Structure 1
């Protein structure tokens, strides 16, 4: 067995901390021994399905202890995990199923109905007994009790996570077992995580930031306290009741948590257990930092910046958060970062250029997307004007991030913009093309439409849809149709009608989004 796989972490934790709580969720809990037993039962069942090696298995469900068992069960086999956020609509799930040829889906009773809408001929497993010939975890835990062993290579592909790209369709990024171990190791190091930490499991487990909470827990033999947010006070109760010490969040979570009357928040003394707060997936505002400092007075706040193509690039040390809140920080351990111009030269101080990520935590590449891989994964030769490539050693791969940044006099990085027109909202990347495609396909009364973003401090970017038609269509009618086909975070917050849309002078087939944005913001 490789030392660089999640299965090894789980086996070692079971040996050394058998009776310690690994997972807690409301009134439920599992020790490391109990977690190991259930993971083995699920892994055994999956292997007996007889699927080809490296088959993709999706997990499409709400958060629960069973969901974590499912994720770890898949990672204890030679199959590949494909986490599917519960926010996706059936047609989006169907696209991902077809894109990476998912052979099996693990789900819950609620999402089982959504899967039934899809033409899926693979295996379906439900957490709860659901009838209709669908096997369940309840049955697996009852009947699958034989010993289970496995041998997993750290170089093997472990996970494919999906986010929306320029073409409007999700692009899967392939992550190896070694990537998962490395990311748990480096985060545990610079956050100074400890064995007695209780890590909040607030984040959804569809992307690497959320999944990393599970793996850091295993790496440090800590405890993961799962939480499904509904109201702000629910989150505060979770932190208090579960005695949480580490809280990973996204900026949208901070906006939601503190979007109420400050007088209604629990006393700050009740949060003395909290020692660490992390934020990634968007820009942190001064208000967010202030709210955290006032409520979690003993906590260190880490602001972090990651890439789709690599686990993480930078973090801002807590000592600098209030001094330079707009900075994305400096490179994390084992990473070198460069800012280069179009000629491949290193940018001067405060000169904007593309961020190049060299070193650790680079993922394997995009699934079935050679053009996107060519765009983002480059030979280290692009740094030849900056680093010493003596001996013509150019086989090393670096990431050309598409993020445009600059560096100040003290070496801190600042994010400026993205090379493409992707929208970043509520911690998600959204392609305008995806929304425009749904409009063209499902609302024929609309002649032309343009989707873009305007700044919104609470959610980073606000999605705007501007359309032209022979007559005005009610906003409610448009949103009702969009909600049938798009995840909730992709729904525009502003819908604007115009008799005609401005066009780009050099291309009369292209709507001038810059002009529309100026009209809305000036």
Structure 2
């Protein structure tokens, strides 16, 4: 990568052209179960699928939805739809029919390509009348038969390219509108600060409907590297794939990292890894130590992001041991401001809201002006970009070294007996006690306190260890932060993106408290 990444955005499908133009055409690009596509073959497959799509759905800007496991179709569609002048709507394969029906109707999808079993799960009325539903095998076969290859698109980089729906853990899923420029510059930015190269191999374990997951493809291909998509059942499947393919780059969310550090890694699986990247939740100090112990040679990149602005910050690997809980600083093309309650730029150590400005900011929510107005607002006066910014709702602080630290979400802060409590602080103390692997602190409605602190933990069923946790918390936390109730679990509920489903836990505990 160059010293400063190129800020010029291109149509997204030009990613496959870039690798070939730079002489990387013969290098592997996509490693599938039954075949390997080099970058030239990837370019040809994108051209073929795009040509067929353009014939079947000739309306520019029409939405094309995919609902399938990782494979050739789901990896090609982001680029092929972009080349055909269409808008890709990837649907998480873990979602159920009611959620899929909502996404199809809300997006106005003109085509749905899915696996046969998923299509069979849909009921009458789930697929809009104007939406053509095809199984993925038929779609790929029809594209090959049509032989209608089209070349690189000439789309305006600001045109809509994709709609990524949030998981819907809170209320109705929102469709985040992303342009060619959003996705192109996101790929350039990540490839640059991760120092990706043409000999890198990325194991894509995250859902491709997740912005973090989709970027695994785009940033790797921008750098001319190779992607190995993997749908796994067990953590050991990940380590086996790393050994088989010589994986150099692995991205995950905290719950998965916890599972991966709880298994034994063969030397041939861990040694090739050059970098580990984390987003979707903060790493704890203990988890950082576990990752260091399991993958001592790999650079660790903690990152913070939100779908509405893709990615906002990352922490340089050399700073992780010194500042293990920091969010780091802005990624390339992102301007990050901390705005206090007076609407001014917060001073060092002063809490404020993280506001993301610049070209990575999405184009808003699809057909949802009300919720769009809550999150997408004019940038603060201090912004060098101006225009629209994403007001994250996340509370952060910046220290004297300009490093950012997460405090908590404005709507997640627990207000108990007049005290404002950060769930993260309680969770970190619980994990640091060494008695639990994961912890979630929630404020549950309480007649006396307003909200009572409930702590859900995954850990041992040993009675003595369970008795020791409250004692450990008493030593580390003030009285007003002590959990009123500790709930021990063998496993945590996860949402479709692999993150702990805090909303499901809140709903369960709130209902229990009301009974």
Q: TM-score range by the shorter chain?
A: 0.7 to 0.9
SS class of match (2:110) = strand
Deviation by residue 1:326-363 (Cα, 9 ceiling, x = unmatched): 11111222333222222112223222111122233111
State the Cα deviation string for residues 300-335 of structure 1 (Å, max 9, x = none). Answer: 000000123212111111112122221111122233
Post-superposition offset of 1:499? 8.4
The correspondence of residues 328-367 of structure 1 with structure 2, limited to 5 A, is 328-367=327-366
Q: Partners in 1 of 2:357 and 2:329 — Cα distance?
A: 13
Q: 1:201 aligns with which of 187, 204, 211?
A: 204
Q: Distance in 2 between matches of 1:166 and 1:299?
A: 33
Q: Which moved more, 1:409-418 or 1:54-63?
A: 409-418
The answer to whether structure 1 residue 290 and structure 2 residue 289 are counterparts is: yes
Q: How big is the shift at 1:3?
A: 5.9
- Mapped to 2, the partners of 1:298 and 1:412 lie a distance apart of 24
CA distance in 2, matches of 1:493, 1:165: 15
Q: Cα offset for 1:174?
A: 0.5
2: CA distance, partners of 1:405 / 1:102: 38
The residue number in structure 1 matching 2:367 is 368
The SS at the match of 1:39 is: helix
User: Residue in 2 aligned with 1:124?
Assistant: 133
Per the alignment, residue 102 of structure 1 pairs with 109
Q: Paired residue for 1:444? A: none
Most deviating of 174-183 and 364-373 = 364-373
Structure 1 unaligned segments of length 5 or more: list them.
129-134, 389-393, 426-431, 433-449, 459-482, 503-522
Distance 1:345 1:196, change over 3 A: same
Pairing 1:214-229 to 2, within 5 Å after superposition:
214-229=217-232
Aligned residue among 2, 6, 10 for 2:12:
6
Partner deviation per Cα, 1:71-128 (whole Å, 9 max, x = no partner): 3221221110011001111001111111111111111123222235653131112122
What displacement does 1:34 show? 2.1
Is residue 5–residue 180 contact of structure 1 (8 Å, CA) maintained in 2? Answer: no
Q: Give the unaligned 5+ runs of structure 2.
A: 1-7, 414-422, 428-441, 443-450, 460-494
User: Are positions 1:256 and 2:259 aligned together?
Assistant: yes
Q: Counterpart of 1:354 in 2: which secondary structure?
A: strand
Instruction: Answer whether contact 1:240 1:270 (CA < 8 A) is retained.
Output: yes
Aligned equivalents of 1:343, 1:351: Cα separation in 2: 12
Q: Whole-Å Cα distance in 2 between the matches of residues 298 and 406 of structure 1?
A: 31
Correspondence 1:241 to 2:244: yes
* 2:255 and 2:500 in contact (8 A); partners too: no
The match for 2:313 is: 314
Alignment of 1:63-462 (within 5 A): 63-116=70-123, 118-120=125-127, 121=129, 122-128=131-137, 135-141=138-144, 143-149=145-151, 150-164=153-167, 168-260=171-263, 264-267=264-267, 270-380=269-379, 383-384=380-381, 386=382, 396-421=387-412, 454=455, 456=457
* Equivalent in the alignment of 2:480: none
Distance 1:497 1:349 in 2: 37
Q: Greater CA deviation, 311-320 or 65-74?
A: 65-74
The TM-score normalised by the length of structure 2 is: 0.77
| Cα contact 1:59–1:106 (8 A) shared by 2 | yes
- 1:210, CA displacement in angstroms? 0.8
Q: Whole-Å Cα distance in 2 between the matches of residues 209 and 197 of structure 1?
A: 18
The answer as to whether partners of 1:183 and 1:212 remain within 8 angstroms in 2 is yes
> How has the CA–CA distance of structure 1 residues 45 and 308 changed in structure 2, closer, same or farther, with 3 Å as cutoff?
same
Deviates more, 1:339-348 or 1:293-302: 339-348
> Does the CA-based 8 Å contact 2:239-2:269 persist in structure 1?
no
Q: Under a length normalisation based on structure 1, what TM-score does the superposition of the two structures give?
A: 0.76
- RMSD over aligned CA atoms reads 3.2
Q: Who is 2:484 aligned against?
A: none
> Can you list the C-alpha shifts for 1:447-483, whole angstroms capped at 9, x where unaligned?
xxx999856589xxxxxxxxxxxxxxxxxxxxxxxx9
Find the aligned partners of 1:169 and 1:65 in 2 and give their Cα distance.
30
Distance 2:169 2:261 in 1: 33
Query: What secondary structure is seen at the aligned counterpart in 1 of 2:41?
Result: helix
The answer on whether the counterparts of 2:18 and 2:222 sit within 8 Å (CA) in structure 1 is no
In 1, Cα distance between equivalents of 2:500 and 2:184:
32
Query: After the TM superposition, which of the residue ranges 348-357 and 8-17 deviates more from structure 2?
Result: 8-17
CA offsets per residue over residues 201-221 of structure 1, 9 Å max, x none? Answer: 111101211111111122111
> Which of 27, 33, 37 is equivalent to 1:30?
37
Q: Does 1:46 align with 2:53?
A: yes
- Are the counterparts in 2 of residues 6 and 181 from structure 1 also a CA contact under 8 Å? yes
Partner Cα separation in structure 1 for residue 294 and residue 169 of structure 2: 39
Is the 8 Å Cα contact of residues 125 and 137 (structure 1) preserved in structure 2?
no
The answer as to whether partners of 2:97 and 2:126 remain within 8 angstroms in 1 is no
| Counterparts of 2:170 and 2:300, CA distance in 1 | 36
Per-residue CA deviation, residues 473-504 of structure 1 (Å, 9 max, x unaligned), is xxxxxxxxxx9xxx9957549945978739xx
CA distance in 2, matches of 1:402, 1:20: 43
Superposed displacement of residue 27, structure 1:
4.6
How far, CA to CA, are the matches of 2:452 and 2:201 in structure 1? 41
Residues 41 and 498 (structure 1 numbering): CA distance in 2 closer, same or farther, change over 3 Å?
closer
